[in-house]
Structure 1
């Protein structure tokens, strides 16, 4: 697999040369998955043999890694580095701790048979690809040139999904060891006729619907709930229609229905990605509040679209 991955790396002899256009194109080619929120972007690449040798020698000289370890994968800024111990065959992630220390964390379940860590790690990702749990899509939802292997679950038990009045919402998260937190993805769209759960305009009661607010429910391991209310999502107020949305934005620091900046018409699904913080929560859910018509000209009463809870748990396989 490392040899075949040479085709992705091409001439990337220096994978952190920020101004090299060829490297920019490869940033999102991570075979071990990618994710982003705001200006935080992680794409973990399986290194070809040349880079395994180069980075291993460099980091050994700097005593940044144990002498018996190989650097087999990393994010493009080295936020995440995966090491393979050549004596035990254990695969580990160098994890940054809050106290400033860096310690290895095993990247596969502890019960993995000796000598099979890398095989199991790659096999698990291949299985997720084959069953549609992870897919190729833009890593930055607002930049179509960032296509890569998205780490956000798109099927299976780690994805939550619900349909309310023909509006579908999906939610999932990925653990980010770089910040010891979770990054979550919320996907919102109006279903089109012919899709399961779709309604026509008469059945829905509206042609368009605009996001007005959110109500998140974060649940802790002890069952305690934290409720978060707010207008829009980071200043965004998408106007949903069949097949796409309009990217309306808030002007200034406060919300006003008549003060929104009318944005560009977009196709596909509205996607919002953010960080959950380090609050020790185990699930994330809630509801999204929509207004029929437009916020400046509503055609009906506000209604809620349910977001069933999805888990915030550190996975057995770390990518």
Structure 2
């Protein structure tokens, strides 16, 4: 499990390999990652945008940007959390993801929340430094 707190927002990520969706003989490796976003602050905030940087074991980088997460822009009141699961395919048996969320306060002020870097490694596989 990977965890980081930025601007009173805690982001926890837990990745897992999906062998049933992967095909190593075709260089396709798929992971799911479960994310929990918890508002530790005193203000209500809304998740507006996401930005991911995904790097495979060959150092190839893919950037993903978009509105919200899994089709939603959740509002988090103080003490509440939002949980979702998404996925990531790679062409290598390991990689790393890192990113951030753009959040908005009720005043309209926007701020960035870091998503902790997390590794995508096959179970029982020696990780590759990316």
Matched, 1:168 2:5: no
Structure 2: distance between partners of 1:208 and 1:279: 39
Deviation, structure 1 residue 236: 0.8
Instruction: Describe how 1:3-18 pairs up with structure 2 within 5 A.
Output: none
- Normalised to the residue count of structure 2, the TM-score between the two structures is 0.82
Instruction: Describe how 1:30-45 pairs up with structure 2 within 5 A.
Output: none
Structure 2: distance between partners of 1:275 and 1:223: 19
Deviations 1:19-57 (A, max 9, x none): xxxxxxxxxxxxxxxxxxxxxxxxxxxxxxxxxxxxxxx
Which residue of structure 1 aligns with residue 27 of structure 2? none
Q: Is the 8 A contact 2:13 2:36 kept in 1?
A: yes
Secondary structure of 1:312 counterpart: strand
Greater helix fraction, Structure 1 or Structure 2: 1
Structure 1: distance between partners of 2:58 and 2:90: 16
Which residue of structure 2 aligns with residue 290 of structure 1? 103
Structure 2: distance between partners of 1:214 and 1:285: 11
Which residue of structure 1 aligns with residue 57 of structure 2? 221
Which residue of structure 2 aligns with residue 270 of structure 1? 82
Deviation, structure 1 residue 301: 2.4
Which residue of structure 2 aligns with residue 118 of structure 1? none
Deviation, structure 1 residue 213: 0.7
Greater strand fraction, Structure 1 or Structure 2: 2
Deviation, structure 1 residue 211: 0.4
Deviation, structure 1 residue 223: 2.3
Instruction: Describe how 1:145-184 pairs up with structure 2 within 5 A.
Output: 159-180=1-22, 181-184=30-33
Q: Which runs of 5+ in 2 are unaligned?
A: 23-29, 126-130
The aligned length equals 117
Bigger Rg, which one = 1
Deviation, structure 1 residue 309: 1.1
Structure 1: distance between partners of 2:45 and 2:91: 33
Structure 1: distance between partners of 2:69 and 2:48: 9
Structure 2: distance between partners of 1:226 and 1:282: 11
- Compared with structure 1, are the counterparts of its residues 187 and 288 closer, same or farther at alpha carbon in structure 2 (3 Å cutoff)? same
Q: Displaced runs of 4+ in structure 1, greater than 4 A? A: none
Deviations 1:116-168 (A, max 9, x none): xxxxxxxxxxxxxxxxxxxxxxxxxxxxxxxxxxxxxxxxxxx2211111110
Give the counterpart of 1:212 among 22, 44, 48: 48
- Normalised to the residue count of structure 1, the TM-score between the two structures is 0.35
Deviation, structure 1 residue 224: 2.7
Deviation, structure 1 residue 209: 0.6
